[in-house]
A and B are shown apart, each in its own frame.
Chain A
């Protein structure tokens, strides 16, 4: 493969990889927003006096 073709292929490949990366990130971010199942905190369900609440200093 000659130099011009090699250079062009490298540049285009980098662009493709970058676009793929952006698409994957975008799709992953979307899927994180609409989770069906999620790990929660037991304090969301049960409150025991003496537990520290997030909004108390």
Chain B
């Protein structure tokens, strides 16, 4: 289990570095994005997969995002960047991309479906994937933003 967690953390860190490179963060932020992503993603993995916990992906994502948010707020004065510079790239590995395009696929298939049963099946897939994606995103952003609200003085003065 520990090996799986470490592997998850490593690959999440690499994914965060790569995806954050698309949005041109300051060079000093790369390490912290990777660190936050590793912590957050492996925490979500534990909350979802560990025997005895097994939380739903939405709840696990909210908690993981909250922890990432807290860490980001406290690290941002050290890195001298706004909290969201380290925070948003670190959330990228947790973005439910597959749910997003599966919901579009479901929508397209449901429109092309013949018969009520077929339509219902594809519409269910569209609704399930779409709602899961939406609530994961809302949950993640809410979870990550709560620390910014709580520690307002730190987060909006980080680049001072």
Contact between A and B in the complex (any CB pair below 8 Å): no
> What residues of chain A have their CB less than 8 Å away from a CB belonging to chain B?
none
